[in-house]
């Protein structure tokens, strides 16, 4: 019997003194998985506050859900919940001086039996490994990605652009931010991979693919990715989430 498993791993890296990333794998009443990853930003450790708020809020709302059977339901839940959390973070920042300007990225994925629905804001990424290969399924909300998209710079130039970390959209920095939401087909052979830019800035897409397509134990591959990002400098916090099916009869980690 195939069963869906999820893992979340995070590391503060080798340079930062604290971890502003957050995330987790959460299950609802029907054991459906919600995978979340968030990369906070802001001074006075306010990034921790923003990323913690989005993950805590999404997980609490997820616990209240019963069963999603259609993409329409999933996409509506992601849109409404992410927008509500955005406004909560923004309002909190206005009321707490140390948190003014804080924000966070978010990628939240509902994993159904036949589809996954993805909601995201910012430059944390979602990737999918399926029969067609391995590809990024989110679009970075970043200045550099917009320059690539409009043909002003090449993808190669983007890797070393001095303003690579500038976001065009983040969660909690203004009211009524709209997440990008989409649904993709999902089969038992597929693997979902989410990560913050502390990982995607250190390993290329082909390298991520090589790690994930191997037959070795999946969580072990994830740990190796964090080790590799640290060995290449580890200047940022590093986080990832993985969801896949396996043949285990036992309960997986969550």
The per-residue pLDDT string of the chain (254 residues; one tens digit each, 9 = 90 and over) reads 578 999 999 999 999 999 999 999 999 999 999 999 999 998 667 999 999 999 999 999 999 999 999 999 999 999 999 999 999 999 999 999 999 999 999 999 999 999 999 999 999 999 999 999 999 999 999 999 999 999 999 888 887 787 888 999 999 999 999 999 999 999 999 999 999 999 999 999 999 999 888 756 777 788 899 999 999 999 999 999 999 987 544 444 43
The CA distance from 235 to 137, in Å, is 25
Q: Which domains does the chain have, with CATH numbers?
A: 3-244 (3.60.40.10)
Q: What is the pLDDT of residue 215?
A: 58
Enter the pTM of the model: 0.94
The CA distance from 227 to 92, in Å, is 35
Q: What is the pLDDT of residue 251?
A: 41
Q: Of how many residues is the chain composed? A: 254
Q: What is the pLDDT of residue 90?
A: 96
The CA distance from 37 to 51, in Å, is 8
- HSE toward the beta carbon, residue 62, CA cutoff 13 A: 25
Q: What is the pLDDT of residue 26?
A: 98
Select from 109, 90, 96 the least CA-distant residue to 182: 109
pLDDT digits (tens, 9 = 90+) for 15-74: 999 999 999 999 999 999 999 999 999 866 799 999 999 999 999 999 999 999 999 999
- Determine the distance from the C-alpha atom of residue 73 to the mean position of all C-alpha atoms in its chain, rounded to a whole number: 20
Output the CA–CA distances (angstroms, integers) from residue 105 to 7, 26, 120, 172, 194, in the order listed: 19, 18, 8, 9, 12
Q: What is the pLDDT of residue 156?
A: 82
Output the CA–CA distances (angstroms, integers) from residue 9 to 136, 140, 171, 241, in the order listed: 19, 21, 22, 6
25-51 CB burial, b ≥16 within 10 A, e <16: bbbbeeebbbbbbbbbbbeeebbbbbb
């Amino acid at each position: 019997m195939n069963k869906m498993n999820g893992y979340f791993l995070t590391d503060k890296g080798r340079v930062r003194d604290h971890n502003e990333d957050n995330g987790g794998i959460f299950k609802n009443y029907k054991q459906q998985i919600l995978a979340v990853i968030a990369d906070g930003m802001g001074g006075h450790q306010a990034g921790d506050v923003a990323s913690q708020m989005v993950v805590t809020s999404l997980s609490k709302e997820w616990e209240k859900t019963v069963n999603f059977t259609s993409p329409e339901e999933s996409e509506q839940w992601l849109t409404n919940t992410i927008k509500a959390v955005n406004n909560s973070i923004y309002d909190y920042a206005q009321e707490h001086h140390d948190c003014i300007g804080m924000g966070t990225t978010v990628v939240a994925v509902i994993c159904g039996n036949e589809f996954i629905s993805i909601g995201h804001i910012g430059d944390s990424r979602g990737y999918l490994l399926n029969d067609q290969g391995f590809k990024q399924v989110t679009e970075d909300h970043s200045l550099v990605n917009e320059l690539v998209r409009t043909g002003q710079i090449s993808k190669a130039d983007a890797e070393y652009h001095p303003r690579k970390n500038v976001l065009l959209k983040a969660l909690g920095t203004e009211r009524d931010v709209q997440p990008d939401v989409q649904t993709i087909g999902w089969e038992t052979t597929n693997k979902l991979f989410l990560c913050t830019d502390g990982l995607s800035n250190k390993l290329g897409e082909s390298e991520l693919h090589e790690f994930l397509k191997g037959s070795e134990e999946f969580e072990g591959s994830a740990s190796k990715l964090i080790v590799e990002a640290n060995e290449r400098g580890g200047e940022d916090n590093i986080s990832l989430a993985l969801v896949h099916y396996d043949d285990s009869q036992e309960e997986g980690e969550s």
